[in-house]
Structure 1
Amino acid sequence: MKNLFKILGTGALLLACSSPNNEQEVAKIEQGPEPRIISASKQYTEFIYALGATDNLVGVDLSSTYPKAAQSLPNIGYHMHLGLEGIMSLKPSLLLHKGGHFSIGPKQVVDQLENLNLPMHSFENKAKDITSTKKLLREMGTYFGKQVEADSLCQKLDQDLLMVKDKLGVQSDTVKVVVIHFGQAMNIYLAVGAESVAGKMVEMAGGKICIEKKGMERITSPELIAEANPDVILLTDFGYDRLGSKEKVMELPGIAETNAAKSGKIYRIEGYDIIYFGPRTGENVLKLHEILHRND
């Protein structure tokens, strides 16, 4: 990454800027010391680590919890509640964010960053499925001069998913699944819908989300889970760890009446494994397949 700016060139930096008036600032940054990059996207952070492009990564947002090494970097706060002082204290030369609504905020901080001529960049490809995930990997690989690494990650992703298909070839049953994610507030939990990333990954693993939700929505009626009657319940790490045991999970409204509770098929999963597509998606689908088809 020492040659990052030679690889990117001034043109790439200009692309990152929001205003043509930033040209002088870009030139000054390019002529300065090593680039200093902040990632305000958990997805970008994982991609950067997977590509081995971390040499100039100096800060991440609060959601960037994977890999564990990212947690040792200075934290700029939650990506939608950024603080100007925390960002500028790291003396960044580039801020990466996903782009679009709910990418970074609040607006006044974003405006201040633009007024300070801090280059900001989001990549063109959005990882909404496996095909676009590989496109983003290759786009970021080109950006950081890690094309070989990106190709290797894409090949591994394909290989892992082929392994899942082979496993599913000898199984005809579809497992009914509910994925529960706790919010930060006490006693508020969310059901993950079939159209979410987690829902698509569950389907790849031979399961089916059995609560009709589009994304991630609060469960307003405990009867929804009881009526859905899943074979397996997956609880993300924050909620599972807070409750402390499978027995405590079964005390949640609506859980005890399900087939999953009666057979003890309630499992803890890492939230960052299922919340976005990335280079580990194939590995994570393999993990899901193993969980869904266990015979405890």
Structure 2
Amino acid sequence: MDKTHSFLKTLTIALASLLASTSLIAQERLISAGSAVTELVDALGASSQLVAVDVTSAQPEGKRLPVIGYHRQLSAEGLLALSPNMLIGSEEMGPETTLTLLKNAGVKVEVVNTSPTVDGLLERIDEVASITHTNEKAGALKQTVQEKIESIQNNHPAKAEQKRVLFLLIHEGRPANVAGSETTPDALITLAGALNPVAQSVKSYKPLSTESLVEMQPDVILVSGRSWEKLGGADAILKSMPLLAATPAGKNKAFITIDGQALVGGLGLKTLEEAQRVNKILYAPEKN
């Protein structure tokens, strides 16, 4: 009888805990701001908790959620109209005045890291899993991430064969910014098995003259898909920066566009996908 009573008591506690957890999840009304955050909410199976996403985020499969605008320029009025009880985003979201107004209105604001590193991504998975009550799924997702990275690294070339790759942030009428160390594009380049020639001398994003870019002699130049479309492709970029024609990338029109969602909020799942794609383009086996 004692064993039976003990078992029933344990079962009752477990069921109560499960019901409480399920009830808690059902009550969540999340707004996700930042593509690297939204993709994790979705990958962890918590998209049912979402009531809106920001403009940088991909819509979860099978959903058409309201879009709240840009994660750096959030409007408290627009967000509160959706009756959320939580806003989850990266360290990039703001402005701070909006976040303060949301907190004062009783909305919980959760901020996760934006580190452009694999460790940062693994930590972010745990952070989002904890916030969305999906901790039991974090381990499998982290394993998938590790396997993806290993798959990319298996196609890395010998050091002497590494391509020199630059990422340019191009705005019409202004000098191009190059992505140095401690940036998501630099992490993407490294994951793809390439060499970022400015990583040792430039931290974050920095405007460089075209002459300085020529000195780097990049084999390939990465640009965001948005910049590519806005500027009009390779010919338009070379016309605006004619000295690039003196680089291997310019001579061969070796530009690769990167999905902007892979560049927001630190190293993310989309960044890994883009790194794998770039790796395959750079080091595709030659056909005889």
Say yes or no: TM over 0.5. yes
1:182 matches 2:170: yes
1:37 matches 2:30: yes
CA RMSD in angstroms, aligned pairs only: 3.1
Change in Cα spacing, 1:195 to 1:139, as seen in structure 2 (3 Å) is: closer
Inter-partner Cα distance in structure 2 for 1:179 and 1:158: 25
Q: Residues 249-260 of structure 1: matches in 2 within 5 Å?
A: 249-253=237-241, 254-260=243-249
Higher helix share: 2
Q: Residues 1-296 of structure 1: matches in 2 within 5 Å?
A: 6-7=20-21, 34-64=27-57, 66-67=58-59, 72-99=64-91, 102-105=92-95, 107-123=96-112, 127-168=115-156, 172-183=160-171, 187=174, 189-211=176-198, 212-219=201-208, 221-253=209-241, 254-275=243-264, 276-294=266-284
- Pairwise CA distance, 1:255: 1.8
Q: Deviations 1:249-271 (Å, cap 9, x if unpaired)? A: 22231322211111231222212
Change in Cα spacing, 1:63 to 1:5, as seen in structure 2 (3 Å) is: farther
4+ long deviations beyond 6 Å: none
Inter-partner Cα distance in structure 2 for 1:62 and 1:133: 21
Deviates more, 1:54-63 or 1:139-148: 139-148
Match of 2:8 in 1: none
Change in Cα spacing, 1:108 to 1:166, as seen in structure 2 (3 Å) is: closer
TM-score (norm 1): 0.77
Match of 1:18 in 2: none
Inter-partner Cα distance in structure 1 for 2:111 and 2:18: 17
Of structures 1 and 2, the one scoring higher in RCO (CA 8 A, sep 6+) is 2
- Pairwise CA distance, 1:288: 1.9
TM-score (norm 2): 0.79
Task: Determine helix, strand or coil for the equivalent of 2:90.
Answer: coil
Task: Determine helix, strand or coil for the equivalent of 2:202.
Answer: coil
- Pairwise CA distance, 1:225: 1.3
Change in Cα spacing, 1:70 to 1:134, as seen in structure 2 (3 Å) is: farther
Equivalent AA in structure 2 for residue 62 of structure 1: V
Instruction: State whether residues 42 and 63 of structure 1, in contact with CA within 8 Å, keep that contact through their aligned partners in structure 2.
Output: yes
- Pairwise CA distance, 1:284: 2.8
Equivalent AA in structure 2 for residue 218 of structure 1: P
Inter-partner Cα distance in structure 2 for 1:269 and 1:71: 24
Equivalent AA in structure 1 for residue 207 of structure 2: R
Unaligned segments of structure 1, at least 5 residues: 11-29
Unaligned segments of structure 2, at least 5 residues: 1-16
> Alignment identity in percent?
23
Change in Cα spacing, 1:181 to 1:126, as seen in structure 2 (3 Å) is: closer
Change in Cα spacing, 1:110 to 1:164, as seen in structure 2 (3 Å) is: closer
Task: Determine helix, strand or coil for the equivalent of 1:81.
Answer: coil
- Pairwise CA distance, 1:161: 1.4
Change in Cα spacing, 1:126 to 1:238, as seen in structure 2 (3 Å) is: closer
- Pairwise CA distance, 1:92: 0.8
Inter-partner Cα distance in structure 2 for 1:191 and 1:235: 10
Instruction: State whether residues 116 and 182 of structure 2, in contact with CA within 8 Å, keep that contact through their aligned partners in structure 1.
Output: no
Task: Determine helix, strand or coil for the equivalent of 2:141.
Answer: helix
Instruction: State whether residues 59 and 74 of structure 1, in contact with CA within 8 Å, keep that contact through their aligned partners in structure 2.
Output: yes
Tell which structure's C-alpha radius of gyration is larger.
2
Task: Determine helix, strand or coil for the equivalent of 1:122.
Answer: strand
